[in-house]
Chain A
Amino acid sequence: MTGSLSGRVLDVPALIDAATGQTEYMRAWLAVMTRLGHAVAVPSTVRALAAGQLTASELAELDWFCASGTVLEIPVSLADADELDTLAKEYFGGEVAAAHAALTARRRHWPVITSDDRAAGFRAVGLDVELLP
């Protein structure tokens, strides 16, 4: 842990944007978060799902992004399996990565950064959402 009391949780589109540089928003945001000492949580399942959609060069950028001291990778715990399964089925059409992001955000009381088309599930869980531009 960085000791930071403030942070954000990244969903798949945010991580893909950071890796591909399709827009500059997420990369600029990481610089600001780093300067402030805020934490960035990347659930391991989110990273895996994003990685599956990236080229080799984009994967290298993803690795560099996640190696930042600002980024905390959140593993899946066996103890969370039932809660993840419930969240995935009730709010995310069975997608475990989104459920993992929601669970991480709920436990830390941090907002999720995601795209407009995926925000409804997170809001239904009761989470704050920051939409990608």
Chain B
Amino acid sequence: MATTKITITVDDDVLDRVRSAVGAGQAPNVSAYISEAAAQRVAREARAGEIESRWGPFSPKAMAWARRAADAPPEPGDSAYLAEIEAERAARRPSA
């Protein structure tokens, strides 16, 4: 596979851990380690894209719940959708 040399910026603590992993033999060098991590991210994005193509697009309300349930960072407006979901759930519960 063709490769291209690039310059990137990495947090120092992350780089320390990467170098430790390389030192422990988990990858042949820093470039290979970072390249593998990027390839995994690319694969995840591709798979998520397949899911969205098959079943999406998803509503902002569904995405708000999905982010919360996946511990993903919220986006503006999510709290209003989540409040709406909770109100709907409460309305379905039998009254005591």
Contacts and interface: CB of A to CB of B under 8 A. Distances in A.
Nearest to B55: A27
Interface in A14-48: 21, 23-25, 27-38
Interface string B45-84: 1011001101110110011011101111000000000000
A55 interface: no
Is the interface on chain B under 10, 10 to 19, 20 to 34, or 35 or more residues?
20 to 34
Contact of B47 (A23, A28, A70, A131): A70
A42 B32 CA distance: 33
Among B40, B44, B85, max chain A CB count under 10 A is at B44
Nearest to B49: A31
A130 interface: yes
A86 interface: no
B26 to A, nearest CB: 12
Given A8-B70, A32-B70, 9 more contacts: A21-B55, A25-B62, A29-B66, A29-B69, A32-B66, A32-B69, A34-B47, A35-B48, A130-B69
27 contacts: A6-B71, A8-B69, A8-B70, A24-B55, A24-B59, A24-B62, A25-B62, A25-B65, A28-B63, A28-B65, A29-B69, A31-B48, A31-B56, A32-B63, A32-B72, A33-B70, A34-B48, A35-B45, A36-B44, A36-B70, A36-B72, A64-B54, A68-B47, A131-B89, A133-B65, A133-B85, A133-B88
Interface of A: 6, 8, 21, 23-25, 27-38, 64, 68-70, 113, 116, 130-131, 133
